Amino acid sequence: MTEDQQLELTKSLRGADGESLIDHAWRTLGLRELVAIPLYLTTLLKQAPGGNFPTTKEEVLRSLIAELEQDPDRSATLRGALQGCHQEFLEGIAVEATENGAIALTEKRARAAVNAVQEWLKAERQIVESLQPMTLLDTLVDAHILVRSGMADSGISFQNQ
């Protein structure tokens, strides 16, 4: 969204204080790029009562995940299919992408990342059996904030990328 569209959406959702809220977000490192995405801007505005915006990109992402988890169907999927360990899998994918300086991972790298997380979860006695990595990735894409590109060698990335 353009800055004018962001301002318009913010004013429609937050009224008179919308202008100061979006101005604050534009001046906060890490938030500026997130508020250009309607999903994140809307979540940010819902999670910022009284104009108290999060101070980091990670806080916004945590807020979005918390909001997504409140959906009963999504929550049941994450708990059942991913044994309640979705946060760890998301962190593993994020670490892999960050360490490689990438905004998207090939499916091969994403599978390796979630397998590494599963090994750690087994060592910590949090899970007993591993899940199939493609099933795990499909579940995160279907129920969470990951997206799969439409290319032949599709990549996995966080929606904000």
Average pLDDT, consecutive stretches of 10 residues, N- to C-terminus, the chain (161 residues): 88 82 82 77 72 68 72 80 87 84 87 96 93 92 79 68 48
Domain co-membership, 76 together with 62? no
DSSP symbols for the chain: --HHHHHHHHHHHHGGGHHHHHHHHHTSTTHHHHTTSHHHHHHHHHT-GGG---SSHHHHHHHHHHHHHTSHHHHHHHHHHSTT-HHHHHHHHHHHHHHTT-SSEEHHHHHHHHHHHHHHHHHTTS-SSPPPHHHHHHHHHHHSSEEE-SSTT-EEEETT-
Q: How far is CA 58 from the centre of its chain?
A: 9
Give pLDDT, residue 48. Answer: 65
Domain co-membership, 117 together with 146? yes
Q: Given 22, 50, 69, which residue is the final one in a domain?
A: 69
Number of domain units in the chain: 2
Phi, psi torsion values for 126, nearest 5 degrees: -95, -25
Domain co-membership, 45 together with 85? no
Give pLDDT, residue 43. Answer: 74
Domain co-membership, 21 together with 84? no
Domain of residue 135, residue span: 72-158
Domain co-membership, 100 together with 112? yes
Q: Given 34, 69, 104, which residue is the final one in a domain?
A: 69
Domain co-membership, 101 together with 134? yes
Domain co-membership, 90 together with 116? yes
User: How far apart are alpha carbons 137 and 37 in whole angstroms?
Assistant: 23
Give pLDDT, residue 52. Answer: 66
Q: How far is CA 136 from the centre of its chain?
A: 16
Burial 31-62 (b: 16+ CB within 10 A, else e): beebbbbeebbbbbbebbeeeebbeebeebbe
Domain co-membership, 102 together with 154? yes
Domain co-membership, 65 together with 96? no
pTM exceeds 0.85 for this model: no
